[in-house]
Structure 1
Amino acid sequence: MFLLKLLLKNAFRHKLRTLLTLVGLVVAVSAFGLLQTIVDAWYAGVEGSSSTRLVSRSSISLTFPLPLNYAQRIKAVEGVSSVSWANWFGGVYVTERNFFPQFGVEPASYLSLYPEYRLKDEERLAFIRDRQGCIVGRKLANKFGWKVGDQIPLRGTIYPGTWTFTLRGIWDGAEAKTDESQLLFHWALLNETLRKKYPGRADFVGVYVLGINEPQNAALVSQRVDALFKNSLAETLTETESAFQLSFVSMSEAILVAVRAVSFIIIVIIMAVMANTMTMTARERLAEYATLKALGFPPGFVVKLLFGESLLIALLGGIAGLLLTLPMAAGFASAAGTLFPVFQVSALTQGLQLGAALVVGTVAAAWPAWKMSRIDIVSGLRA
């Protein structure tokens, strides 16, 4: 208790300098946490993927569709328990700024493959029965103030025209990492319209979603599916859902590396600032430390004082920065809208923030503590 009181008095002996150092620590730790959370948000889709789902797409590019008649052939492949499909729509709600994913799906089979979408039974049934109906995630519904029964008009970009859907249900994610920012509607409605207006574009789907019972056989089942359509006009590339999600993340890998680098550079900068503060502190108290040694205190006591003071300041700044990160992340998520389906400060990020603060405090005190533990008593008193 005595040592703690002594550390508090020493830490706040120069209140302005300590306050400025704390402000720098708070800014650095909170910025570090926010940048790490942004990176985590990019990988949220990968972490939220299921090991019991595979995705089969065109081997050329995701923009090339696959024939609808592949569904029955895929379902007959050994190891495949169920098959559904989805088609990217790309509509605009009111303005281009209101971006969110929209997919035309086969309702019954698709929802059975995504049990993490918690939908009321009556809403699920209403969606399946209504060809004009749609369902959305809770996050998306809250953003636009939608409620069951509302009419949602989307202006088509890939598929021209205005498409109006009736909201039949709102799902909640089973976990925090479950995506709640999508809109799902009947693929059959899209296909019927294409068959009337653009017959050549009908009876095609974007991707097939495959359910498997044994995740350890995912690679083998993928090979079987791709072998089935080898040398055909529309060859497939089948992979796990996590690998499919990673293919999108890899497109922005350079940006993510840059964001991570900036987050660590911030910590290094504040480490240099903190080291300068502790060096100034040690230099000002040279005579005090020499007096302590003259009174019989061992060099280790001086080291404890410097390390304790540095770690105390770093810990206070780290905790304050961590607490500030939470409202910052909430504000950023609100401003980003549906750009990041899942945006939350993870326990790992919070641990990294505190760890970074403690590393800053330890490294900053290392050099001045070593110097002060070796000072000559006479030279110190003379100073």
Structure 2
Amino acid sequence: MFVLKLLLKNAFRHRLRTLLTMVGLVVAICAFGLLRTIVDAWYAGVEGSSSTRLVVRNSTSLTFPLPLGHGERLRAVDGVRQVSWSNWFGGVYITERNFFPQFAVDAATYLPLYPEYRLSDAERLAFLRDRQGAIVGRKLADKFGWKVGDAIPLRGTIFPGTWTFTLRGIWDGAEARTDESQLLFHWQYLNESLRQKTARRADQVGVFILGIDAPDNAALVSQRVDALFANSLAETLTETEAAFQLGFVAMSEAILVAVQAVSLIIVVIIMAVMANTMAMTARERLAEYATLKALGFPPGFVVRLLFGESLLIAALGGLAGLLLTLPLAAAFRAAVGTLFPVFQVSTLTMALQLAAALGVGAVAAAWPAWRMSRIDIVDGLRHVG
């Protein structure tokens, strides 16, 4: 207790300098945490993917569809227990700024593959029965204030026209990382309209989703599927859901690397500021440390004083920065809307924030502590005058 009181008294001997140092540390730790959370948000789709789901797409490009007839052949592949499919819709709700993912899905087979989308039995049944029905995630419904029974008009871009859907259900994610920013509607409704307007685009799907019997069989089942359609007019590329999501993340890999680099640079800058503060502190107390050594205190005591003071300031600043990160992240999440389906400060990020703060405190005190431990008593006492 005596040592803690001594450290507090020493740390706030120059209150303005200490407070300004702590403010800088709070800003740095907040920025570090937010930037780390942005990177985590980019990988949220990967983290939320299932190891028992495979995605089958056209080997040429995702923009090329696959014939619906592939589905029957996929069901016969050894290791495949469920088959469903979906199309990216790409509609606009009121204005282009209201972007959110929309998929036309085969609801009867799609929903069993995604148990993390938790719907009530009544809402699930209402959706399955309504040809023009749609379901959305809780986050998306809250953003636009939608309620069950509301009409949702979308202006088609890939599929021209105005498409109106009736909201039949709102799902809640089984976990915090479950995507709640999507809209799902019936693929059959889309396909019937295409048959009437542009028959050549009908009976085609964007991707097939396969449910497999065991995660360990993912590579083997993928090989079987791709071999089945090899040398056909619509060859396939089958990959795990995580690999499929990583393909999108890879498109912005340079940006993510830059964000991570900036977060580390911020920590290094505040480390330099903190080191300067501790160097000034040690220089001002040169005579005091020399006196302690003259009274018989070992060099290790002086080292512990400097390290303790530096770590105390770093811990206080780091904790304040961590606590401030949480409301800032919530405000950022509200501002970006559905751009990041999952945006939350993870436990790992909070641990890294505290570790970064304590690391800054330890490194900042290292050089001054080493110098003070080797100070000559006579030179130190002479410094008084």
Fold match, TM over 0.5?
Answer: yes
Aligned match of 1:350: 350
Aligned match of 2:132: 132
Matched, 1:335 2:335: yes
Map Cα deviations across residues 14-57 of structure 1 (whole Å, 9 max, x no partner): 00000000000000001000000000000000000001100000
1:301 positional shift: 0.6
Matched, 1:178 2:157: no
Aligned match of 1:378: 378
Matches of 1:170 and 1:376 in 2, distance apart?
Answer: 73
Matched, 1:286 2:286: yes
Matched, 1:38 2:21: no
Matches of 2:94 and 2:284 in 1, distance apart?
Answer: 64
Q: Secondary structure at the match of 2:251?
A: helix
Aligned match of 2:318: 318
Aligned match of 1:112: 112
Matches of 2:224 and 2:299 in 1, distance apart?
Answer: 71
1:214 positional shift: 1.0
Matched, 1:49 2:86: no
Matches of 1:284 and 1:335 in 2, distance apart?
Answer: 47
Q: Secondary structure at the match of 2:115?
A: coil
Aligned match of 1:9: 9
Give the AA of the match of 2:81. S
Q: Secondary structure at the match of 1:149?
A: coil
Matches of 1:352 and 1:98 in 2, distance apart?
Answer: 34
1:213 positional shift: 1.2
TM-score of the superposition, structure 1-length normalised? Answer: 1.00
Q: Secondary structure at the match of 1:62?
A: coil
Q: Secondary structure at the match of 2:158?
A: coil
Q: Secondary structure at the match of 1:162?
A: strand
Aligned match of 1:190: 190
Calculate percent identity across the aligned residue pairs.
Answer: 81
Matches of 2:201 and 2:164 in 1, distance apart?
Answer: 21
Give the AA of the match of 2:114. Y
Aligned match of 2:300: 300
1:350 positional shift: 0.2
Matched, 1:252 2:252: yes
Aligned match of 1:211: 211
1:134 positional shift: 0.2
1:84 positional shift: 0.2
Q: Secondary structure at the match of 1:319?
A: helix
1:133 positional shift: 0.3
Aligned match of 2:84: 84
1:319 positional shift: 0.1
Matches of 1:134 and 1:67 in 2, distance apart?
Answer: 24
Matches of 2:319 and 2:147 in 1, distance apart?
Answer: 40
Map Cα deviations across residues 135-172 of structure 1 (whole Å, 9 max, x no partner): 00000000000000000000000111110000000000
Matches of 1:23 and 1:217 in 2, distance apart?
Answer: 53
Aligned match of 1:270: 270
Matches of 1:213 and 1:233 in 2, distance apart?
Answer: 28
Matches of 2:300 and 2:76 in 1, distance apart?
Answer: 74
Matches of 1:157 and 1:334 in 2, distance apart?
Answer: 26
Q: Secondary structure at the match of 1:56?
A: strand
Q: Secondary structure at the match of 2:252?
A: helix
Matches of 1:288 and 1:42 in 2, distance apart?
Answer: 52
Matches of 2:215 and 2:327 in 1, distance apart?
Answer: 39
TM-score of the superposition, structure 2-length normalised? Answer: 0.99
Q: Which runs of 5+ in 1 are unaligned?
A: none
Give the AA of the match of 2:371. K
List aligned pairs for 1:227-242, cutoff 5 A: 227-242=227-242
Matched, 1:19 2:19: yes
Matches of 1:328 and 1:62 in 2, distance apart?
Answer: 36
1:59 positional shift: 0.2
Matches of 1:236 and 1:6 in 2, distance apart?
Answer: 70
1:127 positional shift: 0.4
Give the AA of the match of 1:207. V
1:277 positional shift: 0.3
Give the AA of the match of 1:122. A
1:211 positional shift: 0.4
1:108 positional shift: 1.1
Give the AA of the match of 2:349. T
Q: Secondary structure at the match of 1:231?
A: coil
Matched, 1:224 2:224: yes
Give the AA of the match of 1:344. Q
Matches of 1:299 and 1:238 in 2, distance apart?
Answer: 65
Q: Secondary structure at the match of 1:191?
A: helix
Q: Secondary structure at the match of 1:355?
A: helix
Matches of 1:32 and 1:80 in 2, distance apart?
Answer: 43
RMSD: 0.4
Matches of 1:78 and 1:286 in 2, distance apart?
Answer: 77
1:374 positional shift: 0.5
